[in-house]
Structure 1
Amino acid sequence: MPIYKAPVDDTLFILNDVLGIERYHNLPGFADVTPDMTAAILGEAAKLAEEVLFPINLSGDQEGCRRHEDGSVTVPGGFKEAYDLYRQAGWLGLAAPEEFGGQGLPYTLHTAVGEFMSAANMSLMMYPGLTQGAIAAILVHGSEEQKRAYLPKMVDGTWTGTMNLTEPHCGTDLGLLRTRAVPNGDGSYRISGQKIFISAGEHDMAENIVHLVLARIEGAPDGVKGISLFIVPKFRLDAGGEPSERNGVSCGAIEHKMGIHGNATCVMNYDEATGYLIGTENKGLSAMFVMMNEARLAVGMQGLSIAEVAYQNAANYARDRIQGRSLSGPKSPDKKADPIIVHPDIRRALLTIKAFNEGGRAFTLWTALKSDIAHRSESEEERQTADDILSLMTPILKGVLTDKGFDHAVMAQQVFGGHGYIEEHGMSQYVRDARIAMIYEGANGIQALDLVGRKLALNGGRAVMALFKEIGDFCEENRNDEKLSAYTKALKKGLNDLQSATMWFMQNAMAKPDNAGAGSTDYMHLFGLVVLGYMWAKMAKTAEETLAAGETRRADYLKNKLITAKFFMERILPETALRKARIETGADTMMALDAAAF
């Protein structure tokens, strides 16, 4: 049976030692975030993840969700009770504004907690996860009346939320959207159409489900410029703000899918359902992108979380499974064979996953902190700088961590050999669950195009130039530190490759856009490798300084951190040269074949 232990100590090291979260006590919500409080919150989150959410993950996958003849949906056994415990403890509102019943704590802390919960049970955590995105959109674009009507119940988890974008003929290209909105004359609209792939679209865990739906108002312009966003509740609200009459929205089917079986991924039918405009007519995409950006960071975290739980199981298995003898001589002479963890190739796999997970955890929390600064700082300059980096990092974090999350779930499965292919060990579920994260909230190829086609040039390249300077300055400031040279030299080489690839795009993509498209995925991963390298260099510097200061309690942990950092620099970061070489081949060969030749 699978195991899971939340990485509390590693998360605390990143938050307290590497990021120095106490330095941000001037920001709203940070004042009470002491190391003791952070440890207490993460400890309670770990307890819920390990003892409540994780034990029903495998059974939830096996049972799945059931749709009944009346269109209602039942979640797997134990899910409702687990969600109630999660909701009652206030986890959904951890970072939500206090005026709507939240605790107002940092989004960074919410992200740390989110990793534990998602690793324990990704399918179940998608229900509150979608609600978080809907809350964010209503907070930014909703009217005061809409905020008062919907947010308190969504923040406390009594009601959940969804996002409805995709239609059978319309995925990434939302300009093809057909769902219609007809004004009723009283400020409301009649919404008609069909949406597919709607996560958490129907279930029995909440009193109401608040659907956020993209639709086109009659007479609106074609394409994306004519899309509006609407609140369409499952139950319309009465004069007292309580759910009353059933709205014209129903679950037509549950999608039969590869993974995340415990989440109800629905076909949603809207038959003149009553909806309420959020924000301005024909400006629905800007409102929806508030949800999308929050969701993309959360999905990147999902990639990390699945890789972490898959790694833990693979490492545990490798310590116990005996098979063959070590190449350098028996390590367990009292047994007929050695545990497979003695074999270099098993260690290659495990260290590769471990290095990406720990680097990815730092990357995720560092990016979440940028979000907190962007939304909470009183300094306009600080907000702008942080928002620049956040915008630049969003497609990289989503694309790289989910691509690698899937790769590393497969790699962890491989450690099990044939047992990894057998359902009872649970590794199949991690592979299947990880796969969706590469697709939803914008498939990773789209993330790469967004990065190269839009984010690099945004505001005259202000964000990318600032980040290059930050990483370059770190390398220069620590250039003469012999203990850090192994990290800074490798990082500087990776940064040089990234800068060179960026310059190549500037010189070759304007006149020939296919060059940008052909190299975009390699560029996204090249960029991700450098950011992960930067995270590892920062962690190595912190570990070296902490050990030099006489730390004894965490000495073994810190020494292991340095070994893993060195492995990343030696075995993983050099891939930047390969990515750069691929980018510089351009698009000619890639685009040469006639479509009929494929």
Structure 2
Amino acid sequence: MPVYNPPLRDMQFVMHEVLKVGDEYKAMPRHAEVDAETVNAILEEGGKFASEVAFPLNISGDEEGCTLNRETHEVTPPKGFKEAYAKYVEGGWPALSCDPDYGGQGLPITVNQCIYEMLNSANQAWTMYPGLSHGAYEALHEHGTDAQKKMYLPKLVSGEWTGTMCLTEAHCGTDLGLLRTKAEPQADGTYKLTGNKIFISAGEHDMAQNIVHLVLARLPDAPQGSKGISLFAVPKFNVQADGSLGSRNPIYCGGLEHKMGIHGNATAQIVLDGAVGTLVGQPNKGLPAMFVMMNAARLGVGNQSLGLTEVAFQNALAYAKDRIQMRSLSGVKAKDKPADPIIVHPDVRKMLLTAKAYAEGGRALNLYCGLLIDRELHHPDEKVRKDSAELVALLTPIVKAFLTDNGHIATNACMQVFGGHGYIREWGMEQFVRDNRINMIYEGTNTIQSLDLLGRKVLGNNGATLKKFGKLVAQLVEEEGVNEKMAEFINPVAYLGDQMTKFTTELGFKGFQDPDEVGAAAVDYLRVAGHLVFGYFWARMAQVALREIAAGNTDPFYQAKLQTARFYFAKLFPETAMLMRTARGGARVLMDTDEALA
């Protein structure tokens, strides 16, 4: 059976020692009273819930899956899921970072990100039920009418109701301009929606009293394409004027997808048969509200893979210390045993350190993005808010794609550490691999994220936002450039930062002549950008560790951080050279291939 221990020490290190969130919060009136003691206490309790309540249901939930009653269209999640959710609501966890005006606790997003990382490590399939509600909450909070906010937000914040995003249809995934679901205006100001949606995570269940579906649809006079999309709030049960639940709305589950992973989550085919809904935002202006949901979901998906990377690493490390196999190439290490633990072998250590480096680098990036959102929402300085919004927009596709790709690499590597046992279900490792695989696909495939980064976020404003991140790198280089002990961490980041400008300009010029050049280079480009960001945070973490060691701190945590940083820069970061070379290979070898793909 797998194990999970919440990585509280590393979370505290990133938040308090690297990002110094306490100082950041003091500049935000909303969070000025949030101190390290408060944060640590919340994380400790969240870790207990994740490890003691959600984690024990992970394997059983995967084996049992969800059950659809085809007569009633009701879905029953795996045994224990509903009870765990009731404890989650009772503990006030859904309200953690939500607006106090609607019953939320108003705590920082960074704290919420830590809680969700631990929940994703414990049980991604279960965590998606409350997790999807955050996207619905964010969209309604920003774009809903006063009546919609009053009706839905308190219940979403409390967790009494959950939310979904109903975007995809069978004939269109990312290309939402092709969607066909219709919304017919009614005399009372509501709309009746008819159509079919697929791949709706947490789309039907009995864990909450009601489900608020946010549905994309077309009005009768809507223009073609993405300019004709509107967004509607469509509850599972109609809500009465006094807030009580009324009749069953004709939006129901027509089938459950049979999936590779996340079996414990109800991925539903949703049928709308004249379901009553209300318009969110303006007619034909559904995309802005949709992207509020999508951007929240993309950061959430990166967090899912971060959680799986961490738990896979923990289990692979424990196994490698215990499993004996052959002798070390450099001589016997365990003289009292017939063979040495496999952790003595260089390639086993490489697999373990790959997962560790990607987990800890991903945690730093994930929490930095949470801090950027806190600044964007609550900092009193308008320029800080604007700059933070631009940076988090730039980093969102990197969080989604780089962290999930890394999760794929890491979970597979950790399964490999187990050898044949990794392929056996009872150890839990193959489930981590299967569960992670969806994260590279949904909420916009990683190729879509790459196109978004290079085409829209970088070339779209001539690299202006990328230069803002480049200034952060330059500040660190200026601060530590003459420190010999930091050279092994600073020099690679400084070199790549300089190369990035030339690399981006070159791709932009080629893309101007032939747009396929952007498509051909985008995936490689995002991974290079991901390593630049990771390199920056690994250098910052090494900086803190070196200062603590120089000050006489003998906590082995800091030596471990330096060792992991050295591994990252020596074995993972150099991937950027290959990626830039393949990106420069151009589009011709891909597009001039009609015979090869005939």
Instruction: Please give the per-residue CA displacement for 1:201-259, whole angstroms capped at 9, x wherever unaligned.
Output: 10010000000000000111010000000000000011211111000111000110100
Q: Distance in 2 between matches of 1:473 and 1:579?
A: 26
DSSP-derived class of the 1:267 partner: strand
1:254 to 248, 253, 256: 256
**Counterpart AA for 1:63:** E
- Whether the 8 Å contact between 1:374 and 1:387 is mirrored in structure 2 is yes
Q: What's the offset of the Cα at 1:360? A: 0.7
**Counterpart AA for 2:430:** S
DSSP-derived class of the 2:218 partner: strand
Q: What's the offset of the Cα at 1:157? A: 0.4
- Whether the 8 Å contact between 1:61 and 1:262 is mirrored in structure 2 is yes
Who is 1:82 aligned against?
Answer: 84
Who is 1:570 aligned against?
Answer: 570
Instruction: Please give the per-residue CA displacement for 1:273-320, whole angstroms capped at 9, x wherever unaligned.
Output: 001000100000110100000000010111111111111111110000
Matches within 5 A, 1:474-489: 474-489=476-491
Q: Distance in 1 between matches of 2:199 and 2:544?
A: 44
Who is 1:323 aligned against?
Answer: 325
| Counterpart check, 1:40 vs 2:47 | no
The alpha-carbon distance between structure 1 residues 421 and 140, as it changes in their structure 2 partners (threshold 3 A), is same
- Whether the 8 Å contact between 1:181 and 1:190 is mirrored in structure 2 is yes
| Counterpart check, 1:58 vs 2:78 | no
Who is 2:561 aligned against?
Answer: 561
Root-mean-square deviation (CA, aligned residues, Å) is 1.0
Q: Distance in 2 between matches of 1:406 and 1:568?
A: 17
DSSP-derived class of the 1:232 partner: strand
Structure 2: gaps spanning 5 or more residues = none
Q: Distance in 1 between matches of 2:578 and 2:92?
A: 46
- Whether the 8 Å contact between 2:304 and 2:439 is mirrored in structure 1 is yes
Q: What's the offset of the Cα at 1:511? A: 0.9
Instruction: Please give the per-residue CA displacement for 1:87-115, whole angstroms capped at 9, x wherever unaligned.
Output: 11111111000010100010111001110
Q: Distance in 2 between matches of 1:322 and 1:493?
A: 42
Q: What's the offset of the Cα at 1:152? A: 0.4
Q: What's the offset of the Cα at 1:597? A: 2.5
Who is 1:201 aligned against?
Answer: 203
Q: TM-score, structure 1 length as denominator?
A: 0.98
Matches within 5 A, 1:8-23: 8-23=8-23
**Counterpart AA for 1:62:** E
Q: What's the offset of the Cα at 1:458? A: 3.9
Instruction: Please give the per-residue CA displacement for 1:529-564, whole angstroms capped at 9, x wherever unaligned.
Output: 110000000001111112222324xx2000110111
DSSP-derived class of the 2:170 partner: coil
Q: What's the offset of the Cα at 1:462? A: 2.0
Q: What's the offset of the Cα at 1:460? A: 4.2
- Whether the 8 Å contact between 1:181 and 1:218 is mirrored in structure 2 is yes
**Counterpart AA for 1:34:** D
Matches within 5 A, 1:190-339: 190-339=192-341
Q: Distance in 2 between matches of 1:262 and 1:270?
A: 24
1:522 to 521, 524, 534: 524
Q: What's the offset of the Cα at 1:262? A: 0.4
Q: What's the offset of the Cα at 1:596? A: 6.5
Who is 1:456 aligned against?
Answer: 458
Who is 1:393 aligned against?
Answer: 395
Matches within 5 A, 1:366-385: 366-385=368-387
| Counterpart check, 1:509 vs 2:511 | yes
Q: Pick which of 527-536 and 375-384 moved more.
A: 375-384
Q: Distance in 1 between matches of 2:505 and 2:470?
A: 12
- Whether the 8 Å contact between 1:96 and 1:102 is mirrored in structure 2 is yes
Instruction: Please give the per-residue CA displacement for 1:392-414, whole angstroms capped at 9, x wherever unaligned.
Output: 00001100000110121111100
Q: Distance in 1 between matches of 2:591 and 2:225?
A: 27
Who is 2:580 aligned against?
Answer: 580
Q: Distance in 2 between matches of 1:239 and 1:474?
A: 56
Q: Distance in 1 between matches of 2:308 and 2:135?
A: 21
Q: What's the offset of the Cα at 1:595? A: 6.4
Q: What's the offset of the Cα at 1:27? A: 1.1
Q: Distance in 2 between matches of 1:301 and 1:160?
A: 20
Q: Distance in 1 between matches of 2:503 and 2:7?
A: 35
Q: Distance in 1 between matches of 2:519 and 2:92?
A: 44
Instruction: Please give the per-residue CA displacement for 1:449-489, whole angstroms capped at 9, x wherever unaligned.
Output: 11111010344432111111221221122111111111001
**Counterpart AA for 1:407:** I
Matches within 5 A, 1:131-150: 131-150=133-152
Q: Distance in 2 between matches of 1:311 and 1:504?
A: 38
Q: What's the offset of the Cα at 1:497? A: 3.2
- Whether the 8 Å contact between 1:497 and 1:576 is mirrored in structure 2 is no
Who is 2:166 aligned against?
Answer: 164
- Whether the 8 Å contact between 2:328 and 2:344 is mirrored in structure 1 is yes
Q: Distance in 2 between matches of 1:589 and 1:70?
A: 53
**Counterpart AA for 1:461:** G
Who is 1:3 aligned against?
Answer: 3
The alpha-carbon distance between structure 1 residues 303 and 586, as it changes in their structure 2 partners (threshold 3 A), is same
Who is 1:95 aligned against?
Answer: 97
Q: Distance in 1 between matches of 2:595 and 2:551?
A: 63
Instruction: Please give the per-residue CA displacement for 1:160-191, whole angstroms capped at 9, x wherever unaligned.
Output: 00000000101111110000000002110000
**Counterpart AA for 2:21:** I
Q: Pick which of 492-501 and 157-166 moved more.
A: 492-501
DSSP-derived class of the 2:279 partner: strand
| Counterpart check, 1:67 vs 2:51 | no
Q: Distance in 2 between matches of 1:254 and 1:382?
A: 45
Q: TM-score, structure 2 length as denominator?
A: 0.98
**Counterpart AA for 1:426:** G
**Counterpart AA for 1:393:** L
Q: What's the offset of the Cα at 1:426? A: 0.6
- Whether the 8 Å contact between 1:212 and 1:231 is mirrored in structure 2 is yes
